Structure formats: C-alpha cells, structure tokens
Amino acid sequence: MRKPIIAGNWKMNKTPEETAALITALTPMVSDVSCEVVVCVPFVDLYAAVRTARGTSICVGAQNMHFEASGAYTGEISAAMLKAAGATHVIIGHSERRQYFAETDAAVNKKTLAAVTAGLVPIVCVGETREQREAGHTDALVACQTKIALTGLLPAQVPGIVIAYEPVWAIGTGLTASDEQANETIGVIRKAIAEAFGQDVAAQTRIQYGGSMNPKNAYGLMRQPEIDGGLIGGASLSADDFAKVVHFETAP
C-alpha cells in the first residue's frame, strides 16, 4: 500500500512569523491523520517552520534547490544546506520554475539526483500546458519528463521519490482536471516508471495530483486508484482549508 502524501506549496508567501502561526494552527487539525503531511515553505521561513513543526506530524520541505554541493552560485541553496536546516522534502521542477526560470528537464534530473544523495525526498513535478494537451501530446510529454527526471537512479531509490503531476493549465487558474483525467495521466506516469524500472517499482512509487486540488475536489480525486496525494497551492495557505484536504476521506 502506498501511503498518501499531501504537500503544501506556499510559493512566495508568508513571513517567518506567519509561518509559525499557520503551522501552530494546523498541528492539532492533522495530528491524527494516516497520510504524510508536508509544508514546503520559502527559504527564509525554513527555520521557523522546522522549529514550530518539531515533534508534530508535519514535515517541512523547500521549494527549490541547486544541484551543486557548493560554489559560486549566488542566491542558490544546496541540498546539504536544506538538510542541515531540517528540511526533509524539496519540490523540484515546478512548472513555475520551468516557465519563469528556464529550468530544463536535464536540470531537474541533476537536482533529483542531488536531493536523493543528500537524503531529501524530492517531489518531482511533471505536466503539460493547455496547448500540449489539446494537441494530444500529454502522454508522451509526461512520460518523457518522468523518465528524464529519474535517469541515473537505482530501482531501489525510485520508491523514495514522489512524482507530482501538475497540468500547467490548472495551476493557479482555478481549473482542474477531472478525476478521471487526472487518474488516467497519472497512470501514464506510472507506466513510464514501470518501463524504466519495472512494475514492482512503479507500484510502490507515490504520484500526486498538483492542479488546484482544494477542499471541494480532494475527495473525488483521492478516490481514484492511481492518485496518491496532492501538491496543494492556494489551499495550503489556510490552515482550515489545508486540513480539509488532508482529511480527504471526508466528502465535502
């Protein structure tokens, strides 16, 4: 059985003080859940998040990292730095990083390998634009992105990684793939993992849906057999809303 994982991506939101307040409010709401709960915060909030979440059921992640261990990379953060700061997870290859900061599939692969080497759990994002979906390229694109991201990993390492399917057209737009669309595409991603590493590895690997999951649609999405969790954007900025997604077993 794959343990569900609900991760919040706060993007460029929250000060350290606001971070501590949100996690403090969230803690009792998610103390008894069976899924893994992660909040991925801006770099400046890591200290406050780790300190506030210590001893709770909430894990803390970052939203990006560099693939080099150290060097003249002004403004960047290494995997070892994140690990030392107390982070356990890191988002890699989010569509906004690809779109606004020109991250390539090759860079995503390097970051994934560096995160695994450092002992972090990478949440690796893949997904298509509306134009690519309408042109019928979704399956080929997400399969290719997935295989490139995982290149160089040993089969035993792959189940420790989380893949987040995030249709670009559904991020921050209020749009969402239907339950069936999301399940079908995540099935394509799982098939790509099976082709590269074997069916047993694919069956153990967790794949999230990351396109505007919220308290209203989480129940339906999480009932799909291929969907193992959610990468939550806007709804993760409210303790009440995020907790409702974490308690996805309850129908809205």
What residues are annotated to the active site?
Answer: 94, 166
DSSP state, residue 2: P
Q: Which amino acid is at 98?
A: R
Bridge partners of 106, per DSSP, are none
CB contact set of 237 (below 8 Å; sequence gap of 6+): 8, 10, 13, 14, 22
Q: Quick one: tokens of 191?
A: 């098939």
CB contact set of 228 (below 8 Å; sequence gap of 6+): 2, 3, 4, 5, 206, 207, 208
DSSP state, residue 166: -
Helix axes 16-26, 239-246, angle to 10 degrees: 40
**Alpha helices per DSSP H over the chain:** 16-26, 46-53, 79-85, 95-101, 105-118, 130-134, 138-150, 179-197, 199-204, 218-222, 239-246
Indicate the length of the chain as a whole number.
252
